[in-house]
Amino acid sequence: MPPAEERSDAYEAARTGALEWLTASWNPQLTVRDWWSRLADSGWGFPTWPEAWFGKGMSAAEGAAVRTAYVASGVLPPPTGLGQLLGAPMLLLHGSEEQKTRFLPALARGEESWCQFFSEPGAGSDLAGVQTRAVPDGDEWVVDGQKVWTSGAQWADRGMLLARTNRDVPKHHGLSFFIVDVGQPGIEVRPLHQMNGAHGFNEVFFTGARVTDDRRIGAAGGGWSVAVTVLMYERTMASVASVMPGRKAGQLDELAGPAAERAASARTLGRTGVSELVIDAAGTLGRTSDPVYRQRLAALWALDTTNGYLARGGQSGRDGKRPSAQGSLTKLSRSQLTRAGRDAGMAVLGAEGLLDSPNTTGGGEIQYRALSSPGASIAGGTDEIQRGIVAERVLGLPKEPRADRDVPFKDLTIGTQRSAD
């Protein structure tokens, strides 16, 4: 939350309005499904969405104020999956009226969970080099290929798919964007076990999977622009911890009261506030009187604080406009903070950092973050890609030379592709 002197009248009005409505409307005996439906109809679930589509047309700053109201009131926040945070804003910018009508209600009410089929074994940083193909077959497309590092695919009802539909044009121009149903025989999801002990990522294989043409977002061959919009939202997304949306998670028919308690617990134990976590550990271990540690902790706190300001500024794209390149600055700052938190935290723990146990200082959270830290500089586009975006779009520097700009994709050597068909 911004300091009191920085809160505008609009910010305070949004916070007050949200608190009043949430306090008057909250009923812990409702199911999660019914509570989220009530939120969607009120517009307070996603207040920066347009009024015609389950929102209130608020600014990003007002949306941030509403998020603080959820924490203050203790009610269950709205669904916060990738469909809600990335898919819905993308649809509001690129989707047809029919597509908005089809997909937005289920997302707003948390009835569906979506995932993101972007990265591939041979196309990570070079996303435009994806090789998964979608071939037209009547009014459908047949999809074959492989995706990797897909978060939440095991819980997803639908996925945002970037696939190649034309190999005879340069790589950025031959891509199309689809919303594909995950629970079909042609899609196989395999969990990937990570070094932090989690397995939220997956590799996904498409073998004759099908998607109808009315699930294509934008023009055939125009998928790159849609994908970039999704990535920019990914770099700036912000939410309050809630429970998982979608029927596969099995939480829609639980009572909202216990679900709200779990969400609050997740915020307490959550993956944010790294400086507070490390400073508390340092105090427990008696290291705050050491001037070297104090300097390091002060630097971490300053970085965490300024990162918060930058993140709020990066939310400018949340009020119905396409996100700007500031999302790249936000993402770079978040990566830097993650590394600084890892290094300071492990230094504070000392030998305890070698143990993977909840009985260590900080409950094992510092170790978990340290093992998770490499992902911060990869997810949503690598730090190297973000620096290129900032250099070109913010600083106005010349673009890097690109030899493949006018070369048909089929003539490129990319990933596992070694020769033209």
Residues tagged active-site:
234
| Residue 72: partners with Cβ closer than 8 Å, 6 or more residues away | 19
Which residue is it, tokens 């074994």?
121
Question: What is the token pair recorded at 95?
Answer: 């989707």
Position of tokens 């400086």? 275
Joined together, the tokens standing for residue 85 give: 């945070």
Rounded to the nearest 5°, which phi and psi values hold at 265?
Answer: -65, -40
Distances (CA, A) of 233 to 27, 206, 230: 32, 26, 5
* 8 A C-beta contact, residue 84 and residue 78: yes
Q: Give the other-Cβ count within 10 Å of 360's Cβ.
A: 18
Strand partners, 181: 158
Tokens standing for residue 260? 């709200």
β pairing state of 114-117 and 158-164:
parallel
The rounded distance, in Å, linking the Cα atoms of 168 and 160 is: 23
DSSP 263: H
Sign (positive or negative) of CA dihedral 206, 208, 213, 218: positive
C-beta of residue 140 within 8 angstroms of C-beta of residue 151 = no
Whether the Cβ atoms of residue 301 and residue 275 lie closer than 8 Å to each other: yes
Of the candidates 266, 275, 288, the one whose C-alpha atom is nearest the C-alpha of residue 342 is 275
Query: Cα separation of 131 and 145, whole Å?
Result: 7
Among 217, 215, 191, smallest CA distance to 204 is for 191
Q: Is residue 101 within 8 Å of residue 131, measured between CB atoms?
A: no
Contacts of 3 (CB under 8 A, 6+ apart): none
